[in-house]
Amino acid sequence: MRKKLFIKTFGCQMNVYDSARMADMLAPLGYDAVQSPDLADLVVLNTCHIREKAEERVFSELGTIRPLKAARAGKDPMVIAVAGCVAQAEGDLIIERAPFVDIVVGPQSYHRLPELIARARRIAAGAEGAANCGGRRQPGLGVLDVEFPPVPKFDSLPPPRATGVSAFLTVQEGCDKFCSFCVVPYTRGAEYSRPARDIVAEARHLVASGVREVTLLGQNVNAYHGEAPESAEGSWGLARLARGLAEIDGLRRIRYTTSHPGDMGADLIAAHGDVAQLMPFLHLPVQSGSDRVLAAMNRRHSAAGYLRIVEDLRRAQPAMALSSDFIVGYPGETDADFEATLQLVRTVGFAQSFTFKYSPRPGTPAAAAAQLPETVKDERLQELQALLREQQAAFNAAAVGKVVEVLVEKAGRKPGQLSGRTPQFQPVHFSAPPGRSDVGAGSIVGVRIDGAALNSLDGSPAESDVGATTRQPERANA
Ligand code: SAH
Ligand code: SF4
Ligand code: F3S
């Protein structure tokens, strides 16, 4: 009997990857992914703890699922699992406040889901006493598995199923940096790098199933230091890994996220200059432009240090486009500190960015500090966003009139359109080249950019470049 699986994913790309891996793992057990929880046999909420009120959001999601479970109580009840970072941080609270949740599973333990589901079903059927259940027993009927296991979960997962041209590939997890605002070191645990051999094998498998672009994921992806394929070689850093992956035939583009400025080594910067598949776009969060705030955040880099990295990157790869995360209103941030952030933004010129108002996360060092007034946070956020929007619009406008190489991902919004991304990660919608049915998802085509908006570009096929499907990606257009 086939079963229906509904997964709802919150948070970062690592959760997106994890959700896909959960689906891969459950498919052989008969679970087909569905788009709505209504008729699901198994509902998984893969949660994120990074924002304020994250727990409340989970409880409110659970509140909408509970009646669905009640409606089909009986022989074959719905199983509800809470996974991800809220599960890790607040597992006990979830089982206490929402006893209808069957499974609470942390981000390092989801490879045990099949076993946890079987156990939850036995408990629900009254076939297994709660005392026999291997995960920790909590006040409700749930099974809680939020340990950081000694055996990395990746060893227990089946090969991934590719669903498109572009795929995520987690290479590193966890964080030892302990920025004073951030929950990630507490929810994902200590830094761990997967062996390079496993990553190369996973990438080969993805490419064999049609993937043309991989985005290597990690909370600190550029701190990657996995065991080299030949163990005598010691370990591989991210630059060496990118070079290894670039040898895979058919893998046209390599990206990675998220990087920490402190781990942006000379070898990785150099790789941007000479590995053609490594795309000229980097998400490198700076958080603030004030050294005083950066020190209080425990970021372990200065504003000048960040600017030096940007300069070195642009020297190695003139087409390099930068993206960042910013936090405004960190405790103690003065007008002068905020001005330093604006100044850093003006100096760099970002292609894209994410901005956040500081919010205290329980258990982190900054949470105890006095908060700035909400109005100050709001004003600074508006001002920073306006500047970043201007830069993003200018960056996109600069592409108009140029021919760029687009990796086609899918059909576009309108009939006869295709869509994909530039090397610098801008989404592009363009008219399909007439009479070229061979151009589709996975092709790399030259597209002349005719128009630019804040979030995407429009274009038409460049006559001379339509046959670009088998070429290696060029160095990006500067
Ligand atoms: N590992 C990544 C990102 C982690 S979370 C890194 O090191 O950059 C993504 C972003 O959320 C962070 O870069 C930060 O800008 C923001 N963030 C994290 N905790 C926050 C908090 N307490 N308040 C506001 N923004 C926060
Ligand atoms: Fe959080 Fe800092 Fe680690 Fe990034 S580097 S995950 S912001 S603690
Ligand atoms: Fe959120 Fe966990 Fe990612 S807290 S941002 S899902 S690492």
Both structure tokens of 293: 């705030």
The pTM score is 0.92
Quote the ligand 1 centre to 358 CA distance (angstroms). 9
Q: What is the separation of C-alpha 340 from the centre of its chain, rounded to a whole number of angstroms?
A: 28
Q: Are 251 and 203 a contacting pair, CB within 8 Å?
A: yes
Ligand 2 center from residue 183 Cα (angstroms): 8
- Predicted local confidence at residue 464, as pLDDT: 58
Place of tokens 């994921």: 217
User: Could you tell me the distance, in angstroms and rounded to a whole number, from the CA of residue 40 to the centre of ligand 2?
Assistant: 35
pLDDT tens across 359-406, in order?
999 889 999 999 999 999 999 999 999 999 999 999 999 999 999 999
Which one-letter amino acid corresponds to residue 202? E
Burial of 136: CB neighbours in 10 Å, binned 0-12, 13-18, 19+: middle
Closest CA to 356 of 60, 9, 57, 50: 50
Alpha-carbon gap, residue 157 to 321, rounded angstroms:
35
Neighbouring C-beta atoms of residue 6, cutoff 10 Å: 21
Mutate to test the pocket of ligand 3, among 188, 260, 327 (most ligand atoms within 8 A of CB): 188
Residue of minimum CA distance from atom 13 in ligand 1: 325
Q: Do domains 154-397 and 403-465 have the same CATH topology?
A: no
- Ligand 2 geometric centre to CA of 178 (Å): 6
Which residue ranges make up each domain of the chain?
A: 3-145, 154-397, 403-465
- Rounded-to-integer distance, Cα 108 and Cα 148, Å: 6
- Which ligand lies nearest to the CA atom of residue 15 in the structure? 3
Place of tokens 């009997």: 1
DSSP letter assigned to residue 190: S
Say yes or no: domain 403-465 is CATH 3.40.50.720: no
DSSP code, position 278: B
Beta-carbon contacts of 205 under 8 Å, excluding residues fewer than 6 positions away, are 159, 160
Distance from C-alpha of 171 to C-alpha of 15, rounded to nearest angstrom: 13
pLDDT of residue 159: 83
CA distances from 68 to 94, 95, 124, 188 (A): 18, 18, 16, 31
Residue to mutate, 9, 44, 50, ligand 3, most ligand atoms under 8 Å from C-beta: 50
Please, what sign has the CA dihedral across residues 429, 430, 432, 438?
A: negative
185 lines ligand 2 (CB under 6 A): yes
| Strand pairing report for 417-421 and 403-411 | antiparallel
For ligand 1, whether the C-beta of 330 sits within 6 Å is no
Asked whether 246 and 216 are in contact (CB, 8 A), the reply is: no
Helices (H), 278-418: 291-296, 303-316, 335-348, 374-397
Q: Residue 384: nearest ligand to its CA?
A: 1
d(CA 51, CA 88): 15
**Is 153 a pocket residue for ligand 2 (Cβ < 6 Å)?**
no
List, chain by chain if needed, residues with CB within 6 Å of any ligand 3 atom: 11-12, 14-15, 48-50, 84-85, 183-184, 187-188
- Which pairs count as long-range contacts for 35-40, CB under 8 Å and 24+ apart, including other chains? 35/6, 36/6, 37/6, 37/8, 37/64, 37/65, 37/68, 38/68, 39/4, 40/4, 40/5, 40/6, 40/68, 40/78
Mutate to test the pocket of ligand 1, among 48, 51, 181, 372 (most ligand atoms within 8 A of CB): 181
Q: Position of tokens 């026999």?
A: 132
What tokens does 386 get? 């306006």
Closest approach atom of ligand 2 to CA 175:
3
pLDDT for 438-459, tens place per residue?
A: 889 999 999 999 999 999 999 9
| Distance in angstroms (rounded) separating the CA atoms of residues 445 and 462 | 8
Token pair, residue 90, equals 């607040």
Query: How far is residue 314's CA from residue 285's CA, in Å, rounded to a whole number?
Result: 16
Model pLDDT, residue 459: 96
Instruction: Determine the pLDDT at residue 232.
Output: 74
Q: Whose CA is nearest to atom 12 of ligand 1?
A: 325
Rounded to the nearest angstrom, the distance between the alpha carbon of 1 and the centre of ligand 1 is 43
Q: Report the C-alpha gap between 222 and 168 in whole angstroms.
A: 15
Task: Give the pLDDT confidence score for residue 82 in this predicted structure.
Answer: 96
CATH superfamily assigned to domain 3-145:
Methylthiotransferase, N-terminal domain (3.40.50.12160)
- Residue 449: the pLDDT is 98
**Gap from CA of 299 to ligand 2 centroid (Å):** 8
- Residue 144, SS3? strand
Q: How far is the CA of 232 from the centre of ligand 3 (A)?
A: 35
287 backbone φψ class: left, alpha, beta (φ>0; ψ -120 to 50): left
CA–CA distance, 93 with 115 (Å, rounded to integer): 22
Question: 80 CA distance to ligand 3 centroid (A)?
Answer: 20
Pocket flag, ligand 2, residue 228 (CB < 6 Å): no
Burial 173-183 (b: 16+ CB within 10 A, else e): bbbebebbbbb
What separation in Å is there between the alpha carbon of 184 and the centre of ligand 3? Answer: 6
Q: Report the distance separating Cα 259 and Cα 75, nearest Å.
A: 48
Alpha helices in 317-454 (DSSP H): 335-348, 374-397
Q: What is the 318 CA–ligand 3 centroid distance (Å)? A: 32
User: What pLDDT does 405 receive?
Assistant: 97
Report the distance separating Cα 298 and Cα 310, nearest Å: 20
Q: What residues have CB less than 8 Å from 308, skipping those under 6 apart?
A: none
Terminal CA-to-CA distance of the chain, rounded, Å? 55
Q: What tens-digit pLDDT sequence spans the chain (478 residues)?
A: 899 999 999 999 999 999 999 999 999 999 999 999 998 999 999 999 998 889 999 999 999 999 999 988 777 889 999 999 999 999 889 988 999 999 999 998 898 899 899 888 888 777 665 544 444 544 344 566 666 655 568 888 888 888 899 999 999 999 999 999 999 999 988 899 999 999 999 999 999 999 999 999 999 999 999 999 987 789 999 999 999 999 999 999 999 999 999 999 999 999 999 999 999 999 999 999 999 999 999 999 999 999 999 999 999 999 999 999 999 999 999 999 999 999 999 999 999 999 999 999 988 999 999 999 999 999 999 999 999 999 999 999 999 999 999 999 999 888 889 999 999 999 999 998 888 888 899 999 999 999 999 999 999 999 755 444 434 444 333 3
154-397 CATH fold: pyruvate-formate lyase- activating enzyme (3.80.30)
